[in-house]
Structure formats: structure tokens, C-alpha cells
Amino acid sequence: MNGRANGRPPGARCGPGGLVPGGAGTIDALQGQDAAAPLSAAALAEGVRAGEVRALAKAITLVESTRPADRSEAIGLLEALGAPAGALRIGISGSPGVGKSTFIEAFGLRAIEAGHRIAVLTIDPSSRLAGGSILGDKTRMAELSQRPEAFIRPTPAGRTLGGVARRTREAIVLCEGAGFDVIVVETVGVGQSETAVAGMTDLFLLLLAPLAGDELQGIKRGVMELADLVLVNKADGAQADAAARTVAEYRNALHLMRPRTPAWPPTVEACSALTGAGIAQAWERILECRAALEASGDRAARRTAQAEEWLREEVEAAVHERLREDPRLESLAARLEEEVRAGRVAPPAAARRLLDAFFAPSSGP
């Protein structure tokens, strides 16, 4: 179940021009990369396909770059890699400190034991730079990060959540191209990041902590409705009983909710990422869930819907980018904004004028 050998020739559409990964020298430095070494997109695609971690790291840095020239190279690279290999994509979310990193360490080692290669992409919406969290996660996933079958990479959060989702989707495709057949996308449970992550994975796992009292945690209903699997972590020591109670309560609560799909009513179980109890079972449950979603057609339907959404978001983001890049449009936008603020032009009329200028065939002075 290793998708490494895609057997596709290097993409003909990649430009031969030198390519310098943009922007994220800190990550390269942390991972011992030579950030300055230029590499053609075709060579990069070749390296990714061969499963070379350095090439993969550079490729992800390239897709994360905001430089317009890098964007063209990134698109060439993604095209060269072709259709994704069909890895199992798992979204994992949970409140800060619930044990996501510890869980992924235990879970990832279990997946490797079962013969898989696992890539972990972590999104931290609270930080714009990856520098802080990568060190934290490398120590928390100490054993996993040493394994050649594992690849761990933080996705620096962009200015907008859309930006995060956009680059993470591409990173997923790159990891699949490099032969990782289990991809975990981790996000801390704040804001809309869970929705974004559920929108780019095959199944969504929610990690909860044992309840102190008998009151359900402040998990938003919308987030519960996204979950295919719920795991109550830290079911060990003094918290074991509370974890068992929490499992029972969430089973009841989920019973009253509409499942994401009738093919797989969400499961609720306890585990301890620290002792390893319940981790093998969680892995089995994930495989069962995937099998059920495949048999029902839900997995294919989710991927189709995700591809459509991805296309829509790309077009919208690209339009915004071009508006910002074109000095003529930028100054027109600034003037129109002023008019709108002053109440002299209605927003829809201003938007129309800007778009008319955007789509005008010739760009005058």
C-alpha cells in the first residue's frame, strides 16, 4: 500500500528555470536543508516521487511561498506529480493540551508497525511562523520524528484560514506523491480550523479530555457533527474513571445528533496516548471507518466535493492576489474604498467597477 512508485515521467510543463524555495528559510534551516540551493521543478518532482524527504521539504516550502514566480513553479510541480495516489487522509483536532501531538506520536508508530509511511502536517492557526511549534512538536513526537517512515511538518498559518487550507491541501498532495500513504493533518481546535481540516481529509478525528464534572465540554455542536471518530484521551491513572464517564456521555450526546453520513455513525472510545492503551484499537477503528466510507461511496463523494471547493477557493484567492499585484487595479481599489467609506459609492457598484477594470482586455496607464 505504498504509493511511492507512481511511474510517471517528470512533468513536461515544468520550466527549466532555477528555483529557490521562497520565504521559509527557518524551516529549511531547522530541518538541515540547504535553502539556497536552486533546483528545477522537474528535478524536485523527481525527488518527491523518489520519496526523498529533502525534496519533499523543499517542495512544500515552494507551495507555501507567496512569490508569484514561485506560484507558477509550484503549479508546474503539482501538475508534474499528477493525480494523488489515494492515501488515507486523517484530520485530527482537539483543544490545546488535549494530547494531539502525543497521540499522533503513539498512533504514528502504530501505523508504521502496520507497514505504513506517515506524514504529519500540523496547522497552528495561532502562529504565523512555524519556528516555535516545530521545535515543540519535534520534542513531543521525539520517536516518530526520528523514523525514516515518518515526515513531520508544521504548516505556518497564513493571514487567513483560507490561506492555510490552500497550502495544506497542496502539501497533502506532495506527501502522497512522495509515497506517504497515511497523512495526518493536525489542527488545534480554535475557530474554523476544524471545518477547514475536515474539508481536506477523508475522515475527521476529534480528541477530547476526560470531563471533570458531568458537564459536556465547550465543544461546538458544529465540530461534533464533523467528527467520524471521537477519542477521549488521558484515560489513565486518576482520570480513567472520568474518561469512561465521558465516553458514555458523548455516546449519548452523539446519539441525538445527525451523523455526517448514515454509513458511519461516529464512534466514541477512550485511549491513553501516554500509556498506549486504546491506540491499536483507534487505528483499527480508523481502518473500519475508511472501509465503510469507501463502500458507501462517501469517501469518493467527499473527495469530489473537496476538489470542487478547492477549485472555487483557488479562483477566488487568485483573483484577490491579482487585484493586489496590479498597481493600476490596486490604486483603483484604494480610490473605490475611499469612495465607499465616504458613502459616495455603494459597495456593489464599487465592486462592479473594480471587476470591470480587472476583466478589461487592455490595461491602459
Which one of 35, 119, 164, 188 is in contact with ligand GTP (CB under 6 A)?
188
Q: Closest separation between CB of residue 186 and ligand GTP, Å? A: 7
Between helix 131-140 and helix 100-113 the angle, nearest 10°, is 60
Query: Under the criterion CB under 6 A, does residue 273 sit at the interface with ligand GTP?
Result: yes
Q: Which stretch binds ligand GTP (CB under 6 A): 17-25, 66-74, 256-264, 266-274?
A: 266-274
| The three three-digit cell numbers of residue 53, written as one number | 524527504
Subset of residues 87 to 126 that bind ligand GTP, contact rule: CB under 6 A: 94, 96-102
Query: Under the criterion CB under 5 A, does residue 260 sit at the interface with Mg ion?
Result: no
Q: Which residue is nearest to Mg ion (CB)?
A: 101
Which one of 274, 292, 340, 354 is in contact with ligand GTP (CB under 6 A)?
274
Query: Under the criterion CB under 6 A, does residue 357 sit at the interface with ligand GTP?
Result: no
- Is 111:118 a contact under the CB 8 Å cutoff? yes
Site string for Mg ion, 100-139 (x = CB under 5 A): xx--------------------------------------
Please give the distance of CA 199 from its chain centroid, rounded to a whole number.
Answer: 9
Interacting partner of 99 out of Mg ion, ligand GTP, none (Cβ under 5 to 8 A depending on kind): ligand GTP
Please give the distance of CA 33 from its chain centroid, rounded to a whole number.
Answer: 22
Subset of residues 142 to 171 that bind ligand GTP, contact rule: CB under 6 A: none
Distance CA 304, CA 329 (A): 34
Q: Which stretch binds ligand GTP (CB under 6 A): 109-117, 167-175, 230-238, 306-314?
A: 230-238
Nearest CB to Mg ion, comparing residues 100 and 299: 100
Nearest CB to Mg ion, comparing residues 107 and 264: 107
| Residue ranges that bind Mg ion, judged by CB under 5 A | 100-101
List contacts with ligand GTP (CB under 6 A).
94, 96-102, 140, 188, 233-234, 236, 272-274
